[in-house]
Amino acid sequence: MSNKGKHRTTKQKKTYSDSKIKYYKLHKHHLIGRLKTEETKKRMSLTRGGTGIPHENSEYPEEFNDKLKDSIKERDNYKCQNCGMTQEEHYVIYGRDIEVHHIDYDKQNCNKENLITACKQCNIRANFNREKWEQYYNKLRRRNENQIVIW
């Protein structure tokens, strides 16, 4: 039986999230949560033919920085706008902060109305069947605007 397309209640999402957290606390992968030093990042860049400057060939513009991402996460209450996973849950499971997704898939469009908070899994999922997810996130954004949530 497939779970594809099922809508879950908040209680179901919370139960699922709690069980994932328990699982990952018990079965922690050796690479999850490891932080890389600046020296390690430099060596990784050099081994891949780079100049040693991490993220030197980034496709994102300068304005897509931590300050902008933090403001989007704060606006969205540090929760994935698709599944409801919180920043804390995301860090326990993936060992890193929750992500910011471009609704229209244009990495150059850093308008706040085009950005939404998403967990790693939902962000990956949104890269397949892009038309569906773009419509879904735009609909979600409009619904939130009607609830007088200031973006």
Q: How far apart are CA 114 and CA 44, in angstroms?
A: 32
Of 17-26, 113-122, 136-145, least confident by mean pLDDT is: 17-26
What was the pLDDT predicted at 12? 83
What was the pLDDT predicted at 71? 94
30 has pLDDT over 80:
no
Task: For residue 148, name the pLDDT band (cuts at 50, 70, 90).
Answer: very low
Q: Per residue in 67-83, is it b (16+ CB within 10 Å) or e — as a string?
A: eebeebbebbebbbbbb
What was the pLDDT predicted at 54? 58
Task: For residue 63, name the pLDDT band (cuts at 50, 70, 90).
Answer: confident
150 has pLDDT over 50:
no
Report the interhelical angle of 87-94 vs 10-26 (nearest 10°). Answer: 30
Please write the tens of the pLDDT for every residue from 107-116. 889 999 999 9
What was the pLDDT predicted at 149? 45
